[in-house]
Amino acid sequence: MNTQLQRGSFFLVVVVSIMMLWKRVESIRFDLESGHTKCISEDINTNSMTVGNYKIVNHNEGHPLPDSHQVTVRVTSAYGNNYHSADNVKEGHFGFQAVEAGDYMACFFATATKPSTTMTVDFVWKSGVAAKDWSNVAKKDSVHLMEIELKKMVDAVQSIHEEIFYLRSREHEMQNLNKSTNSKMTLLSFLSLFISMSVAGLQFWHLKSFFQKKKLI
């Protein structure tokens, strides 16, 4: 009975994890003032697919956007490598397979104008399973809908498996960093204690020499 309960709990955790990973879509809408920069980060694993779409929202339907409503976009990795760049655009998209693991930054910059203007940017950032274009696959007549769903599930499970190993590697890096920091702090503590004792000894010697010269002791 306990074994069946454990299996049921494990299955529930897997299903919930798949659904959470499946829904991994970063959609955001923000205001950007001219002359300012807005950056958004996303933690992406190695070899993970990521796509993004951005556009300036037109609040006046039927009228074109002003020429001042343009942004410059840069998408870079944690190591400073550039994966996407666009200058003075009103909309755009990017897509790439992450070569490096870590936080990727998407920065939006609006050129300064007089008078100052504020524009609204709609940004959708997908990574992992959500970044794959299943609509094009589903358009093929030879592919059954159930097969598409199974492929999604398989990719989701594989992504979870890769994500677990990625988190383990990050945890190992953090443990090594903590050990290194603790060792350095211990060494620094002993060094500070040695310097303090040395200064105290020099002060004692100086005071003793001073009192001896004054024949006070």
pLDDT tens series, the chain, 217 aa: 444 444 444 444 444 444 444 444 557 899 999 999 999 998 888 888 889 999 999 888 878 888 889 999 999 998 889 999 999 999 999 999 888 888 999 999 998 888 888 999 999 998 876 666 655 555 554 455 666 666 767 777 777 777 788 788 888 888 888 988 998 899 999 999 999 898 888 888 888 887 777 776 6
Q: Indicate whether 162 and 120 sit together in one domain.
A: no
The verdict on residue 4 lying in a domain is no
Q: Please count the helices (runs of H) and the strands (runs of E) in the chain.
A: 3, 8
Tell me: do 127 and 181 sit in the same domain. Answer: no
Measuring CA to CA, which residue among 51, 45, 139 is closest to residue 100? 45
Phi, psi of 187, rounded to the nearest 5 degrees: -65, -40
Last residue of a domain, one of 74, 109, 132: 132
pLDDT at 121: 94
Check residue 82 and give its pLDDT: 93
Tell me if 72 sits within 8 A of 86, measured CB to CB. yes
Burial of 182 by CB count in 10 Å (0-12 exposed, 13-18 middle, 19+ buried)? exposed
CA distance 108 to 113: 16
From the number of C-beta atoms within 10 Å of its C-beta (0-12, 13-18, 19+), residue 129 rates as buried
Residue 153 lies inside a defined structural domain of this protein: yes
Of 97, 132, 167, which residue constitutes the final position of a domain?
A: 132
Answer yes or no: are the C-beta atoms of 97 and 48 closer than 8 Å.
yes
pLDDT value at position 114?
A: 84
The answer on 208 and 165 residing in a single domain is yes
Domain of residue 72 covers 25-132
pLDDT of residue 172: 87
- Rounded to two decimals, the pTM is 0.56
Q: Residue 124: how many CB atoms within 10 A of its CB?
A: 15
